Amino acid sequence: MLTFIAKRLLQLIPTLFFVSVIIFSLQQLLPGDPALVMAGEERDPDVLAQIRKQYRLDEPVPVQYLYWVKGVLSGNLGESMRLKEPVLTLVLQKFPVTLQLALMAIVVSLVVGVGAGIISAVRKNTAIDYGVNVVALWGISTPNFWLGIMLIFLFSVHLGWLPASGYVSPFEDFWLSIKTTILPAFVLGNSFAAVLMRHTRSAMLQAMSSDYVRTARAKGLTERVVVLKHAMRNALTPVITLGALELGTLLSGAVLTEQVFSIPGFGKLIVDSVFNRDYAVVQGVTLVTATTYILLNLLADIAYVLVNPRLRS
């Protein structure tokens, strides 16, 4: 097991290296003099000189990259031009908000997606199965920002049950926090639930037609025990890995969901930074998001090996 983890960690090194190269290269796409673009309206020669010095724009590109990576490795992701704060501080401030939203979305997706997938497989080729498949197709095809707008109209404007926007930390007021994040979490988890449902359905159908399920039935076990104890346990193992591959979609979706519901998380930070030409923040958030995604996939791979005794040896 330790060898497996060590091997996977080693594989991360080239991936992280190329991720850093790609994200650093974004800066090279800026048209004209990067210092002028980064300075925006500011044309003060001192400010321009400071930007050139800060980003070492007078040095060759590979040298700029080495300084940037050195900074990143020591926790220095640069400084926000607009907020005059280190990017890492901003990221750490916003991270818990997006994390809470993502975790709630995962819970919603697991309950709805896995639950519906199991029911759909057990009731294969019935009206319930067709209904669940149609809902899954709807979930995959609906843009989450539109769903968010429609749900705000229904639950906030029309019914007045839930707040339309804003965020309250669970440490300030737990129930108000749940009230402000339940709608965004549902919106964010919607397409993830649809994907999980499809994976769970196909894995369950495969498990239900296997020999050990037939044996369990032959022993006289109830259908409930056969489905929940025998089929589901084995079917959910591949769902972990396939689900982890979709986490990137969840992180991307968070950008739009936070924008629709005015939630001050990662997504809102990157969008605000784009419009304020705060390029260091854009690079920093992209780097942290990509690294988080890579680490989550690593954890999913480890979990997959842990829950599958055949792979452990």
Could you list the residues that contact another protein (CB under 8 A)? Answer: 14-19, 21-23, 26-27, 29-31, 137-138, 140-143, 145-146, 149-150, 152-153, 157, 248-249, 251-253, 255-256, 259-260, 270-271, 273-275, 279, 282-283, 285-286, 289-290, 293-294, 297
Residue 146: strand, helix, or coil: helix
Measured from the CB atom, the residue of 271 and 307 that comes closer to another protein is 271
Minimum Å distance from CB 165 to another protein? 10
d(CA 126, CA 130): 6
Measured from the CB atom, the residue of 236 and 270 that comes closer to another protein is 270
Any bridge partners for residue 79, and if so which?
86
Minimum Å distance from CB 266 to another protein? 9
Residues 6+ apart with CB under 8 A from 221: 230
Measured from the CB atom, the residue of 55 and 231 that comes closer to another protein is 55
Minimum Å distance from CB 226 to another protein? 29
Any bridge partners for residue 86, and if so which?
79
Backbone conformation region of residue 160, classed left if phi is above 0, alpha if psi is from -120 to 50, else beta: left
Do the beta carbons of residue 87 and residue 302 sit within 8 Å? Answer: no
Measured from the CB atom, the residue of 113 and 148 that comes closer to another protein is 148
Question: Quick one: three-class SS letters along 72-138?
Answer: HHCCCCCECCCCCCEHHHHHHHHHHHHHHHHHHHHHHHHHHHHHHHHHHHHCCCCHHHHHHHHHHHH
Measured from the CB atom, the residue of 232 and 260 that comes closer to another protein is 260
Q: Which amino acid is at 285?
A: V
Minimum Å distance from CB 146 to another protein? 4
Measured from the CB atom, the residue of 230 and 268 that comes closer to another protein is 268
Radius of gyration of the chain (CA): 24
Measured from the CB atom, the residue of 110 and 247 that comes closer to another protein is 247
Minimum Å distance from CB 296 to another protein? 10
Minimum Å distance from CB 170 to another protein? 25
Q: Which amino acid is at 190?
A: N
d(CA 230, CA 233): 6
Minimum Å distance from CB 148 to another protein? 9
